[in-house]
Amino acid sequence: MALECTQEWDGVIDTFQHPRYEMHGSGVVFDGEEEVRGYFRSSRTPFPDLANEIIAIAADQDTVLVEFWLSGTHLGPLHANGKVFDATGRKFRIRMVATFEFAPNSDKIVCERPYSAADAKLRALGLN
């Protein structure tokens, strides 16, 4: 998660056995390195300063649960709900949870699953 804040994408990719994000707010799945890198680009276009602040971490066998604050500034076009929202310059901060599933007996992630309401960022920005 720290590497995501500093946009060190090669380092993030290296934490995975197979890069995969399952976005539970939208239902979108990014599977494989190319799709995950596309997700990184698309999520940083509207919010180039996207960052997280960890609140709590819990682990059980091959799964880690992280509660965190996600924040950013709306500085580029945001595609959501079939619309494009021009940059507002507004900041948002939303509380989220993500699970990280690890390959058995490995330190490599097989899937990250962030959980938030589909329109949480829009609501926090006053766009919904």
Structural domain 2-125, CATH architecture: Roll (3.10)
Given a contact cutoff of 8 angstroms between Cβ atoms, the answer to whether 15 and 108 are in contact is yes
Q: What pLDDT sits at residue 50?
A: 96
Give per-residue pLDDT as tens, 20-32: 999 987 889 999 9
Given a contact cutoff of 8 angstroms between Cβ atoms, the answer to whether 110 and 18 are in contact is yes
What residue segments make up the domains of the chain, in order of their start?
2-125
Point out the least confidently predicted range of 57-61, 84-88, 111-115, 116-120.
Answer: 116-120
What is the band of 44 on the pLDDT scale with cuts at 50, 70, 90?
very high
Farthest-apart Cα atoms in the chain, separation: 45
Q: What pLDDT sits at residue 89?
A: 97
Hey, which bits of 1-128 come out as E strands? 20-22, 29-31, 51-60, 63-73, 78-80, 83-85, 91-102, 109-115
Give per-residue pLDDT as tens, 47-98: 999 999 999 999 998 999 999 999 999 999 999 888 999 999 999 999 999 9
Given a contact cutoff of 8 angstroms between Cβ atoms, the answer to whether 94 and 69 are in contact is yes
Given a contact cutoff of 8 angstroms between Cβ atoms, the answer to whether 112 and 99 are in contact is yes
What distance in Å separates the CA atoms of residue 79 and residue 43, rounded to the nearest whole number? 10
